[in-house]
Structures are given as structure tokens and as C-alpha cells.
Amino acid sequence: MAGAITHDRPSAAEGRQGGPLILTEDADLLDDLLRLCAAAGARPEVHHGVPERGGGWDTASLVLVGDDAARRVRGAARRRGVVLVGRDQDDSGVWRRAVEIGADHVLVLPDGEQWLVDRIADVAEGVGPPALTVGVIGGRGGAGSSTLACALAVTSARQGRRTLLVDADPLGGGLDVLLGGETAEGLRWPAFAASRGRVGGGALEESLPSLHALRVLSWDRGDCVTVTPEAVRAVLAAARRRGGAVVVDLPRRVDEGVAQVLAQLDLGLLVVPAELRAVAAAGRVASVVGMVLRDLRVAVRGPYAPGLDDREVARLLGLPLMGEVPVESGLSAAQDRGSPPAGDGRGPLARFCSTFWERAAAGGEAP
């Protein structure tokens, strides 16, 4: 599995670095750079020349040097993270000036705007290892995939990881309801329906409802049930950049938006009740999901039909066996009281989820 899990739960502002240092006297170029910093959610420091020793030149994670300021930067100490920014597409001398100041990159606007926005946003967010991203999908309706997704997310957060639970099923009723937080303040999917380009990871996290020590991106009870594939890709990419763990509850119908989610998953769990009709339905789901997701495993849920066990279900589907999802009595009643699945850390489902994350964090196989 790709991705990484961080075990601390930082504060909302932790992990962010200072904004970039901008060096230029070109008013038009400065306007462009300030606009791009705003788009990336960063607040820059602006100077006409190299600041005094010990200032931003030494400490800034990224330095944007206007081509007009290259001459004034020649004597500065060499450092990484310097970008020489120009506006003249036909000026071949910009490369020589970049070498003279030790720049890592040469950028000409407006062609390089998107690259620069992404670079500034990476610096502002303090990008580290991406989150381990797990998708849960039912082999048939009522398989219990939403319950397992919530239990995995709640357990991850309880173990101290930064955790985001994503509801990718617009017709599922909302995972915030399942977690007892339908009235919690924060944005839902419709707020991101028209998102374009990059979404800031920190801003995303801070905007979402906080339930049971994790963040939840769910659907509301409004009429909007579609989000553009571009918005889905941007939102999930932002979530992954924050690190920790991301758990996605997936619908069984794969459209363009769901395909964007599948493309960013490290691991998929196909929840299959141990009955022949469910296995047949799960085979069709697996054939579609498997075209996009390379690591898809079976999580079998009892009780078992005659002649079936977890290994036989996995064999019939031709997929690796993740394990048996335990049946837990009283789970529905606890959810009706507002207690999330595996919320108290006790019981077979909580132990199952704890073992999953422990092995995933260690880089080993799932249970």
C-alpha cells in the first residue's frame, strides 16, 4: 500500500509554513504574484531586494525573485527554493540570470501560473507524506459498508491520527447522520460542487464538521446530488495532502466522480455478506471497481450460508481476503442513540478496526 499514516493529531494551523518571500519592484509582476499567492491561500512577504541577514531570505520556504530583481540578488547566500519569475517569453537571458542567483526553477508568466500556485500551496501547507486512503464499498445493498467505513474512521481518530471520513454516496442518507452529527456546523459536498483547480488542504479540514475527533465530508439533505469529477479530484487530493488517514464510503455505482476517488485510493475493501446471491452481485461490482483500483480486497460478513466461509467467498471472487467483519449485536440500537460504530473502543468490531490500522501503520497486511 502506498501512502503513510501520521499518529499525532496536529492543530488546524500546525504543519503550515510561512508564505513565500517575493522580491521585485515590477508593479505588474507583483500584482500577478500576489494574486497567485491569494489563490494558493498563502500570505507572502514582499521586499524590493534581499532582506537583512537573518530575515526572509534565510527562513522563507520559497523565494520568488522577479526578473527585474535578479541583479540585486547576485551576492546573496545560495539557498534552495528560489524561483526566478519573468514575463518575457522571448528573453533567453533569463536562464543566465537564474544560474547567477542559484535559482532552482525559471518561470515565465502567464504560462506557468498553475505550477506556481501548486508550489506556493505546497509550501503554505507544509506538505508531507500523503494520507493512507481506504475505500469501503458494499458487494450488494445493505452489506454494511457504511458502518464499516465509520468504524474504521472512528477507530483511526481514537488512535490519534488525523482522520477524514468522506461520504462518496449522494444517495446514502449522509454519514453525518450515521455519526449523530446531522446538525453539526460545517460544509457539505454541495459547497464544493463547482470547485476548480486546487483546494487548500488546511482550509478544507477547517471547514468540515468535526465529529468524534475526526472530520467528516458528507452530503446534506438538499437537492444537489452531483459534484463535478474535477471537484471530486481536487477535494480528495487536498485531503490526502494533509496526511494521516482518509476513509471513503463508496457507492456501488461507478460514475466519473467515483472513478476519480478510486484512482486516489491505496486500498479498497469490498464488504460481502456470505451468501451466494451477494457473492454474485459482488463479482459484478469487483469487475468494475477493479478496472481502476489495483488493490481490492474482500471483507466477508456473516452469518454464513451452507458451504461458504470467508476463504471460499474470496476464492469465488478471485480477490485477496482481508478478513471477516464481525457481527456485533446491539450495533443498530447504539447508532439510534447517537453512538457511532466502534465508538467506545470495545467489542469485536472495534478490535477488528484497531488491528487493521495497527497493521496498516506498520506497512503489513491487513487482518
Chain mean pLDDT for the chain:
87
Cβ atoms < 10 Å from Cβ of 344: 11
| Beta strands 214-217 and 245-250, pairing class | unpaired
Q: Is the pLDDT of residue 174 over 90?
A: no
Domains in the chain (CATH in brackets) are 21-125 (3.40.50.2300), 132-361 (3.40.50.300)
Q: Which amino acid is at 323?
A: G
Question: What pLDDT was estimated at residue 15?
Answer: 40
pLDDT at 363: 61
pLDDT of residue 331: 74
Q: Which of the pair, 59 or 283, is modelled with greater confidence?
A: 283
Phi and psi at 170, nearest 5°, equal -65, -20
- Residue 334 clears pLDDT 90, i.e. is over it: no
Mapped onto helix, strand or coil, the DSSP state of residue 114 is helix
pLDDT in tens, 240-271: 988 899 999 999 999 999 999 999 999 999 99
Q: What is the residue type of 123?
A: V
Do 28 and 87 form a contact (C-beta atoms < 8 A)? yes
Binned at pLDDT 50, 70 and 90, residue 53 comes out as low
340 close to 181: Cβ distance less than 8 angstroms: no
What's the pLDDT score for residue 92?
A: 85
> Is 345 or 362 the better-scoring residue by pLDDT?
345
**Quick one: pLDDT band at residue 55, thresholds 50, 70, 90?**
low
> What is the average pLDDT across 166-190?
90
* pLDDT tens track for 10-40: 433 344 456 899 999 999 999 999 999 988 8
Q: Give residue 5's pLDDT band: very low, low, confident or very high (50, 70, 90).
A: very low
* More confident of the two residues 355 and 126: 355
